[in-house]
Amino acid sequence: MKLLHLADLHLGKRVNGFEMLEDQRALLEQVVDLCDARGVQAVALAGDLYDTPLPPAGAVLLLDWFLTELARRGIAVLAVSGNHDSAERLDFGAGLLAREKVYIAGRFTGQLARVELADEFGSVEFCLLPFVRAATVRHFLPDAPITDYDTAVAAALATLPPADSGTRRVLLAHQMVVAGSRAPQAAGSESCAPALSVGTVEAVESARFAGFGYVALGHIHRPQAVGSDWVRYSGAPLCYSLDECGAEKSAVLVNFGAGPVPELELIPLHPRRAMRRIEGTLDQLTAHRPETGAEDYIWARLEDPTPLPDAMARLRAVYPNAMKLDYKALGTGPDLRPGAGPGPDIRAFAPLFDRFFQQLHGRPMTEEEQAALDAMWQEVTR
């Protein structure tokens, strides 16, 4: 059986004010083509189908189109809610959709939904764990030994009947998973990302998933395995933050043979518009329209020594989808970062400002600039 693992579609997302719906449509068209080309029999969507609990109508229609196209081809769909989805709204029509082999688990209500799909070697069992918090699991399983998030997820998994040896079993989950003390590498567009840095992260240990042949994870937007090759974040299919400029995106093709452990292949996904960073002076960057990629989402880092008026307007004349513009510090002056040597004397404004100016512009002030600064200094200290 060939299963295609995707997650974190975030349909309806806006990035820096730009509507991503057309990019998402092009991406899902690519996924449907990929299913045709590779003979995919099932698609796993591991949470965050939508970007918000109340997605815009266009996002709902896009998911409707995608599910209909897959169902039309007889491809089964397995989906769980993520933390961005409304669990209840995702469950709308779930019983009806299951008749078309579209299996959606929005809410956790005390037991994991299980779906058996058949291939020439027998059946593959899919276990669907919607996004849960410890309190949700505790509510439905009051007698389970739950002390934290890790034990809560373990208790939810313990509601599954034990698997026979040799059973081919897949779990879908949308959680923060760690391997020992190693947290997954966030991409920057997850709303959970800040929690990663403070060290109080709520996470489930990858070893909890030992009984599964493959674990299709969502939540972290950078593709990666956690603890084992078969416990994997597919990553978001598009760049959803400028921190992801240039990141390669992929889907996981999970190929089950007769044995309990599948073969994996990462299939690159190609965005309609890349998200990338360019550097140079504004004149250089806008000298002519590039032959390819002019429509890309651009973060321009200008090497001009001083901020320029109307820089964004000039940039967008060439790159209409430029998202961000900032200036590269050209500093050749002293390194003023914390810990980079004895600190400057904060009582002496002039030398301090000198060093700041040098670091920013890579040259000392001209006489004219020095005079302007002196005048300002006189004014504020008078």
Task: List contacts with Mn ion (CB under 5 A).
Answer: 8, 48
The residue with tokens 């914390």 is 338
**Smallest separation (angstroms) from Mn ion to the CB of 190:** 5
Closer of 8 and 91 to Mn ion (Cβ): 8
**Smallest separation (angstroms) from Mn ion to the CB of 187:** 9
**SS3 state of residue 331:** coil
- For 255, counting Cβ atoms within 10 Å of its Cβ (0-12 exposed, 13-18 middle, 19+ buried), the class is middle
Under a CB-based contact definition with an 8 Å cutoff, are residues 291 and 280 in contact? no
Closer of 82 and 213 to Mn ion (Cβ): 82
**SS3 state of residue 25:** helix
Residue 156's H or E segment, with its range, is: helix 149-157
Token readout for 7 is: 């997650």
**Smallest separation (angstroms) from Mn ion to the CB of 49:** 10
Q: Report DSSP letters for 266-320, one per residue.
A: EEEE--SS-EEEEEE-HHHHTSS--SS-TTSEEEEEE--SS--TTHHHHHHHH-T
Distance CA 234, CA 253 (A): 10
**Smallest separation (angstroms) from Mn ion to the CB of 160:** 25
**Smallest separation (angstroms) from Mn ion to the CB of 84:** 6
Closer of 48 and 244 to Mn ion (Cβ): 48
**Smallest separation (angstroms) from Mn ion to the CB of 319:** 27
**Smallest separation (angstroms) from Mn ion to the CB of 149:** 17
**Which among 343, 354, 345, 361 is positioned nearest to 377, based on CA atoms?**
354
205 vs 27, 184, 208, CA distance in Å?
A: 32, 11, 6
Token readout for 103 is: 């299996």
**SS3 state of residue 142:** coil
Closer of 8 and 125 to Mn ion (Cβ): 8
Closer of 78 and 300 to Mn ion (Cβ): 78
**Smallest separation (angstroms) from Mn ion to the CB of 48:** 4
Residue 225 has, within 13 A of its CA and on its CB side, a CA count of 11
Residue 55 CB neighbour total at 10 angstroms: 22
Distance CA 235, CA 20 (A): 17
Distance CA 144, CA 157 (A): 11
Closer of 240 and 357 to Mn ion (Cβ): 240
**Smallest separation (angstroms) from Mn ion to the CB of 236:** 6
Token readout for 380 is: 């504020």
Closer of 46 and 117 to Mn ion (Cβ): 46
Closer of 23 and 48 to Mn ion (Cβ): 48
